[in-house]
A and B are shown apart, each in its own frame.
Chain A
Amino acid sequence: MAATSSTFALHSTVASAGRRPRDRVSAYQPLPSGGLGWLRFVFFVFVARPILFFLMGLDVHHRERLPPKGPAVLVANHNSHFDTMALLLVLPLATLRRARPVAAADYFDKPTLFGWFVRHIIGVVFVPRTGARGDVLAPIVEALRAGDVVIFFPEGTRGQPGEMAPFKSGLGKLLERCPDVPAIPIHLRGVERVLPRGAIVPLPLVCDVTIGEAMWKTGDARSFVESVRDRLDRLARTRHVARTSAEVAQ
Chain B
Amino acid sequence: MATLQPHSAWVAEGILLLLLLATGVIWARSRGREAEGEQVELKKRVRTFWVIAAAVLGSLALGRGTSVVFFSLVSFLALREFLTIVPLGNRRILFVAYAVLAVQYALVYEEMTIASLLFVPLAGLVLIPSGLVLAGETTGFVRTSSALVFGLLVTVYGPGFLPLLLSLPRGVNPAAGPAGIVLLVVLLVQLNDVAQYLWGRSLGRRRIAPRVSPNKTVAGFVGGAFTTAALSLAMAPLLTSLDRAPAAVFGLLLAVSGFFGDLLMSAVKRDIGLKDTAQTLPGHGGVLDRIDSLIYAAPAAFLGLRFLTS
Q: Which residues of A contact B (CB under 8 A)?
A: 54, 57, 59-61, 190, 193, 196, 199, 201, 203-206, 243-250
Contacts and interface: CB of A to CB of B under 8 A. Distances in A.
Contacts of B95: 201, 203
Given A57-B77, A57-B81, A250 B214 contact: yes
B275 A247 contact: yes
A201 B80 CA distance: 15
Contacts of A243: 273-276
B274 A204 contact: no
Contact of A245 (B98, B269, B286): B269
Given A245-B270, A249-B214, A204 B276 contact: no
Contacts of B279: 59-61
B39 interface: no
B80 A204 contact: yes
Given A57-B81, A206-B80, A206-B84, A244 B278 contact: no
18 contacts: A57-B77, A57-B80, A57-B278, A59-B278, A190-B84, A203-B83, A203-B94, A204-B83, A206-B278, A206-B286, A243-B275, A244-B273, A244-B275, A245-B269, A245-B273, A245-B274, A246-B273, A250-B215
Contacts of A249: 214
Contacts of B48: none
Interface string B259-276: 000000000011001111
A52 to B, nearest CB: 13
A50 to B, nearest CB: 12
B31 interface: no
B296 to A, nearest CB: 22
B33 interface: no
Interface in B204-234: 214-215
A248 B80 contact: no
B91 A203 contact: yes
Contact of A205 (B83, B215, B274, B280): B83
A104 B84 CA distance: 31
Interface in B259-306: 269-270, 273-276, 278-280, 286
